[in-house]
Amino acid sequence: QVQLVESGGGLVQAGGSLRLSCAASGRTFSNYVMGWFRQAPGQERESVATISRSGLSTYYADSVKGRFTISRDNAKNTVYLQMNSLKPEDTAVYYCAAKETIVVLTTPTLYDYWGQGTQVTVSS
């Protein structure tokens, strides 16, 4: 079992920044591909960014490329999502997820462990 706890969400004006953190416990963190996903009201959960076990490979949704950065610190069992130039359409509940694999996956249903989510609201 892996337990994931997100933090860092909040209310921010358009153009602002937030940094989300996801602390993991329970298993060897470096064995897991990690992903950030988001879900807005009435919409399906979508991939935002994912990162390989080493941190050397990353994936970003087109909608966040150049604005968001995913990173991880395996010594601290934590994955981060730095979000800059936020837009109202980034408003959603953000979740981190883990999958014990070597493949950087972007499909939410393939991930095994999920955090409880953290709300991000961007005002215009």
For residue 59, report the phi and psi dihedrals to the nearest 5 degrees. Answer: -135, 145
Identity at 51, one-letter amino acid code: I
pLDDT at 27: 83
Q: Cα(25)–Cα(110) distance, rounded to whole angstroms?
A: 20
Residue numbers in the chain where pLDDT is lower than 70: none
Q: Which SS3 state, helix, strand or coil, does residue 122 take? A: strand
Which pLDDT value is given to residue 117? 97
CA distance 121 to 94: 10
Per-residue confidence (pLDDT) for residue 21, from 0 to 100: 98
pLDDT value for 1? 86
- Give the pLDDT score at 26: 85
Q: CA triplet 90, 47, 55: central angle to 5 degrees?
A: 110
CA gap 55, 48 in Å, rounded: 16
